[in-house]
Amino acid sequence: MLLSKMGNQPPTKATLSGLVTRIWRYPYRANGQEMEVLIMLRHHRHKGEKIIYVDGQIVHHSIDRIDSGGIVSFEILQGKVPCELTVVDYPGLTSYSLVIRGRPWACDTEQADGGEGGRQPVGLSGNLSIESVTVASVALLPLDTEKGGDDREKRKTREDKLEDEVEEEEEETLLQSSSRGVVRSGGKAKVGAFYTLKTRWAATEGTGAEEGEQGANGRAGPKEKEHRFRFRDFDKLDVKIRSYFWGHHLASSLPRLPPKYLKALTAHTSPSFLEERRAALDAYMQRLQNFPYVQRNPDWQAFVLGEPGLR
């Protein structure tokens, strides 16, 4: 599929990053069940990095800043099925094509169903239905309450640390409000806004309901998960989702992430600002959930279920 740059669209972090994501699915039958292999390409165009995943495992990783494309050969299903992925990347012209067993294969956003297939509530295992997502609440909490604590701090990349510095510039530090538990003797406690995302999902037939969670019909009933996210987490999700639609006619219709505001112009810790941003994030997530193809996107699924995503 030939793609062109959309010069008439306002730039976003996704377009500036040069990230493009393509996903292909290869169906097969095993043990009497319909299954599929998920093939994902992450192409960081600005730095010439290409990463190919097969069911979440990296099978190819290369970086070449002057590389304009090329053909990558790999195999799926334990070497039984040969694949060739061709990348062409020139200024103003980019294409991605996958050939499996000598046949051209359409990626997710090239399906001929006009997007209706992409609306199907298929989860990470193919047996999960995401019923609803809600940004239910927001709270100012000490920054050391983030997942992972000290371990997370050690694992931070240079990009994460730079984002932390930006957020610390944008967000106020508090010395009062003991009811929020942010007072520390001898100085200020750095706090951040944490948004609670509630996801309601159900297991469909064939999942194998966990013991004690089956409904009267023997299938797992609806479940809910809650996870805390910073605004930057939604920002990273937005970049990945937009990369999935890079060059696609639906890209211009994607919902816009709520904007960032300078600390000098906006009180980032005021209740009115936090509630306004929470409501805007909730509306953003609601629109994304109902957008064509998004429910089949593994980045979306990992985010709403609180599972580790692919980089």
* DSSP annotation string for 149-200: HHHHHHH--HHHHHHHHHHHHHS-EES--GGGT--BTTB-EEEEEEEEEEEE
Which pLDDT score, from 0 to 100, does residue 154 have? 47
CA 279 to chain centre: 20
Between 198 and 64, the higher pLDDT residue: 198
Exposed, middle or buried by CB within 10 Å (0-12, 13-18, 19+), for 117? middle
- Could you tell me if 224 and 262 are in contact, meaning their C-beta atoms sit under 8 angstroms apart? no
Q: Name the average pLDDT for the chain.
A: 77
- Report the distance separating Cα 167 and Cα 169, nearest Å: 5
> Which range, of 9-23, 27-41, 158-172, 193-207, averages the lowest pLDDT?
158-172
What band does 47 get if pLDDT is binned at 50, 70 and 90? confident
* Spans of all domains in the chain: 2-110, 128-304
What is the biggest distance separating any 2 CA atoms in the chain, rounded to whole angstroms? 69
Cβ atoms within 10 A of the Cβ of 225, count? 14
Give the predicted TM-score (pTM) of the model: 0.78
- Could you tell me if 114 and 123 are in contact, meaning their C-beta atoms sit under 8 angstroms apart? no
Mean pLDDT is highest, among 123-132, 160-169, 264-273, for 264-273
Residue 298 in this model has a pLDDT that exceeds 50: yes
Torsion sign across C-alpha atoms 134, 140, 145, 147: positive
- Report the distance separating Cα 183 and Cα 193, nearest Å: 16
* Residues 170-182: tens digit of each pLDDT: 443 333 333 333 3
User: Which residues are registered as beta bridge partners of 202?
Assistant: 129
How big is the CA angle at 193 (ends 190 and 198), to the nearest 5 degrees? 145
- Report the distance separating Cα 118 and Cα 28, nearest Å: 19
DSSP-assigned letter for residue 8: T
The CATH architecture annotation of domain 2-110 reads Beta Barrel (2.40)
Amino acid at 62: S
Write down the CATH number for the domain with range 128-304. 3.30.1520.10
Long-range contacts of 66-74 (CB under 8 A, 24+ apart): none
Which pLDDT score, from 0 to 100, does residue 208 have? 42
